[in-house]
Structure 1
Amino acid sequence: MIILDAGLEEEANRAVVDRVTELIRARGGSLGRVDRWGRRRFAYELKHRWEGYYVVIQASSDPATVAELDRILFLADEVIRHKVIRLPDVVSSPEAVGSPAAEAG
């Protein structure tokens, strides 16, 4: 999740998101969804601001890419806050789970 400065133009927001997605792709990661939640009001003041532009990016990549992404987002002036969350592994095929009848007996 990335919270961008709400005072930025739409082009600047898009440029930051494009920079993040290109970094993930360039390092061999894969993108899932990019959800733009838009402008939202904070519950409290963050870096002297009361609103931010929220973007949620779902992707998978290696740990080195995550570390580099974290560093870039920390240094970017347009980013108010960011959070990298590791989602639990998702089972990709029903065969991997097995049927309840097979497990019971």
Structure 2
Amino acid sequence: MAFNYNVYVIISRSLDEEAVDNVVKKISDIINSDGKVENVDNWGKRKFMYPIRKENEGIYLSIKFQSSGSIPKEIERVARITDGILRILIVKE
């Protein structure tokens, strides 16, 4: 059974465009293993209300996808060990 999810990712502003694309590709590959990416939005750089890991700005991404219930756990696991990802939030619709 497939569920609809949104993943919101904040990436360090110190990463270049290629590194940001690699993060998106890494998350998309996980999703495509047992689901389908519907939409990827890059919201660009935004200032934080408070510092996150000693940074004041970050690159915001939104990825909408459909998958089974096991994929969000794998995305969170990979996000914890991926350099440059400051925060991640996965919301089930």
- Shared fold by TM > 0.5? yes
TM-score, normalised relative to structure 1: 0.79
Which residue number corresponds to residue 78 of structure 1?
Answer: 84
1:34-53 to 2 correspondences below 5 Å: 34-53=40-59
SS at match of 1:83: strand
RMSD: 0.7
- The AA in structure 1 aligned to 2:22 is A
- For the residues of structure 2 that align with 1:24 and 1:41, how far apart are their CA atoms? 28
Which residue number corresponds to residue 13 of structure 1?
Answer: 20
CA displacement 1:29-77 (0-9 Å, x = unmatched): 0111100001100010000000000000000111111111111112212
Structure with bigger strand share is 2
Pair member with larger Rg = 1
Give unpaired runs (5+ residues) of structure 1: 88-105
Q: How many residues align?
A: 86
Which structure's relative contact order is higher, taking Cα pairs within 8 Å and 6+ residues apart?
2
Q: Percent identity?
A: 29
Q: Structure 1 residue 23: deviation in Å?
A: 1.1
- Aligned structure 1 segments of 4 or more residues deviating by more than 6 angstroms: none
SS at match of 1:85: strand
- For the residues of structure 2 that align with 1:46 and 1:36, how far apart are their CA atoms? 19
